[in-house]
């Protein structure tokens, strides 16, 4: 019998995954990762309540449950990156870093220590063997509106064949909740967590003010033509594409176009000025090979909720690529990730600079 280590958050998705894995005949071990000050935070995937709910589910399903202390690694790879990005006037995506370093790297190493053949999570994604590429590939979930492959492009390539996504063939969250309800588990109606797990009340600005090594001073809000319109409250309070909260008056709606760290300025402009046809990316991870061909035609997403757009990617040097879109893309944001697809297969991605 194949043994699998399942990451359990105490939520509906990981609970349904445990049920499906057992029904498929796997020897399942549940594990909840302690990531961030659980005693102060009772919401999200790493809270005290999450651990209790996960253990309750495992007891009910008669599978063992472990709690894994991953706080040190989480602080190193996720928290510090989050803070450093804002210090550099960039907008990070901590879920991508957590998946890359914690949920599909450290967790896999823990699975090997426990003698497991596979790891599993409740993510909405697919892993399948692809004859075209002669390897296992990461693919979009059937639940298109909930597909999470954007957050998974950074996982180690060598781990892909060892991942099981039990929810990959379901199309709606209602189907998942029904699986849990049919097993008489009360958490079938537990709401999804929408917040960043380590930020109480989703107040990231206050979190940064509490954790930054230096104070961030006020500065000017200026148009792309240099016209001074007001004063900003610190670059950490703003992100590309932002319109609300600027506290300025102008003849037409203005959006944050750029954050000038050197001059400590928030640059604002019109909706039209938000759109660009190219970007550069680094911190690359490709899942089909170590690097792409000289140029490659793909579809690309510049944020999780963005629509895929046709693009050409090519190397500038070994560490950087250029992405040229057929149509301009809105609010391309340094610090966020650009992720590449061919059909439903994730090719890879990188950090926008």
Domain with residue 309: its CATH number is 2.40.30.10
Quick check: 259 pLDDT over 80?
A: yes
Q: Are residues 35 and 175 in the same domain?
A: yes
Burial 21-36, CB ≥16 within 10 A → b, else e? bbeeebebbbbbbbbb
Confirm if 67 and 32 have CB atoms less than 8 A apart.
Answer: yes
Q: Same structural domain for residues 247 and 322?
A: no
State whether 319 and 181 are in the same domain: no
Residues 146 and 287 in one domain: no
Q: Are 42 and 152 within one domain? A: yes
User: To the nearest whole percent, how much of the chain has pLDDT over 70?
Assistant: 95
Mean pLDDT confidence for 143-149: 92
Q: Are residues 154 and 18 in the same domain?
A: yes
Percentage of the chain beyond pLDDT 90 is: 83
CA dihedral 33, 39, 44, 48 (to 10 degrees): 60
Look at residue 210 and tell me if it is in a domain: no
Q: Given this model, what pLDDT does residue 291 score?
A: 62
CATH of the domain at 52: 3.40.50.620
pLDDT at 48: 62
Same domain as 93, residue 78: yes
- Under the banding of pLDDT at 50, 70 and 90, the label for residue 47 is low
- The Cα 215–Cα 255 span in angstroms is 25
**Domain at 265, CATH number:** 2.30.30.280
Confidence at residue 29, expressed as pLDDT on a 0 to 100 scale? 98
One domain for residues 123 and 19: yes
pLDDT at 43 over 50: no
DSSP string, 183-247: TT-GGGGPPPP-S-TTSGGG-HHHHHHHH-SS----EEEEETT--EEEEES-GGG--TT--TT--
Q: Residue 116 catalytic?
A: no
**Both 226 and 344 in a single domain?**
no
The strands making up 27-34's β-sheet, listed across from edge to edge, are 65-69, 27-34, 3-7, 118-120, 163-164
Please report the pLDDT score of residue 346 as a whole number: 97
The token pair at 179 is 């699986």
Residue 147 CB contacts under 8 Å (≥ 6 apart), including other chains? 124, 125, 140, 141
53-80: average pLDDT: 96
For residue 286, the enclosing domain spans 275-352
Please check whether residue 206 lies inside any domain of the structure.
no
C-alpha angle 306-309-311 in degrees, rounded to nearest 5: 135
Residue 214 has what pLDDT?
73
What pTM was computed for the model? Answer: 0.93
Q: What share of the chain is helix, strand, coil (3-state, %, to 5)?
A: 30, 30, 40
Confidence of residue 46 (pLDDT cuts 50, 70, 90): low
Is 285 found in the same domain as 259? no
Q: How far apart are CA 189 and CA 192, in angstroms?
A: 9
Confidence (pLDDT) at 37 = 67
For the segment 167-221, what is each residue's pLDDT rounded down to a tens digit? 999 999 999 999 999 999 988 888 887 778 899 788 888 999 888 877 778 999 9
Residue 62 sits in the same domain as residue 180: yes
Per-residue pLDDT tens digits for 270-313: 999 999 999 999 999 999 876 677 799 999 999 999 999 999 99
Residue from 98, 116, 130, 237 carrying the catalytic annotation: 98
Q: Is 85 a catalytic residue?
A: no
Which of 45, 58, 116, 197 does the annotation list as catalytic?
Answer: 197
Provide φ and ψ at 64, rounded to 5°.
-70, 155
Structural domains in the chain (count): 3
Cβ atoms of residues 149 and 339 within 8 Å: yes
pLDDT tops 60 at residue 44: no
**Which of 175, 201, 227 is the last residue in one of the domains?**
201
Q: Which of 201, 225, 260 is the last residue of a domain?
A: 201
What single-letter DSSP state applies at residue 264?
A: T
Residue 207 domain-assigned (yes or no): no
The pLDDT of 8-27, averaged and rounded, is 96
**Mean pLDDT in the chain?**
93
pLDDT in tens, 104-128: 999 999 999 999 999 999 999 999 9
What is the per-residue pLDDT for 201?
82
208 lies in some domain: no
Say if CB 246 and CB 265 are below 8 A apart. no
Q: Render pLDDT for 275-286 as a digit per residue (tens, 0 to 9).
A: 999 999 999 999
Based on the fold, state whether residues 85 and 187 are members of the same structural domain.
yes
Residue 247 located in a structural domain = yes
> Is 42 a residue whose pLDDT tops 70?
no
* The pLDDT value given to residue 186: 84
Please answer whether residues 235 and 266 qualify as being in contact, where contact means their C-beta atoms are separated by less than 8 angstroms: yes
């Amino acid at each position: 019998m194949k043994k699998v280590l399942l990451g359990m958050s105490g939520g509906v998705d990981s609970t349904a995954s445990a049920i499906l894995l057992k029904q498929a005949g796997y020897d399942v071990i549940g594990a909840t990762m302690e990531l961030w000050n659980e005693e102060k935070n009772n919401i999200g995937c790493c809270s005290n309540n999450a651990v209790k709910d996960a253990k309750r589910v495992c007891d009910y399903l008669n599978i063992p449950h472990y709690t894994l202390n991953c706080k040190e690694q989480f602080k190193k790879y996720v928290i510090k990156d989050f803070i450093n990005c804002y210090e550099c006037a960039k907008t990070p995506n901590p879920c991508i870093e957590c998946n890359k370093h914690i949920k599909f790297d450290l967790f896999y190493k823990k699975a090997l220590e426990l003698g497991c053949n596979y790891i599993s999570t409740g993510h909405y994604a697919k892993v399948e063997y692809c004859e075209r590429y002669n390897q296992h590939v990461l693919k979009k979930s059937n639940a298109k509106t909930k597909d999470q492959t954007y957050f998974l492009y950074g996982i180690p390539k060598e781990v892909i064949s060892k991942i099981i996504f039990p929810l990959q063939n379901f199309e709606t969250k209602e189907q998942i909740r029904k699986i849990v309800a049919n097993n008489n588990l009360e958490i079938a109606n537990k709401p999804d967590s929408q917040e960043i797990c380590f930020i109480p009340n989703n107040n990231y600005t206050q979190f940064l003010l509490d954790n930054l090594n230096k104070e961030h001073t006020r500065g000017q809000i200026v148009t792309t033509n240099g016209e001074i319109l007001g004063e900003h409250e610190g670059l950490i309070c703003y992100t590309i594409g932002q319109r609300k909260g600027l506290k300025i008056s102008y003849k037409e709606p203005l959006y944050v176009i750029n954050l000038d760290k050197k001059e400590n300025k928030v640059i604002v402009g019109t909706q039209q000025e938000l759109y660009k046809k190219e970007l550069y990316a680094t911190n690359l991870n490709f899942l089909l090979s170590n690097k792409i061909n000289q140029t490659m035609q793909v579809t690309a997403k510049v944020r999780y909720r963005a629509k895929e757009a046709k693009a050409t990617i090519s190397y500038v040097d070994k560490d950087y690529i250029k992405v040229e879109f057929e149509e301009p893309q809105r609010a391309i944001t340094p610090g966020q990730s650009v992720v590449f697809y061919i059909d439903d297969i994730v090719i890879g991605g990188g950090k926008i600079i």
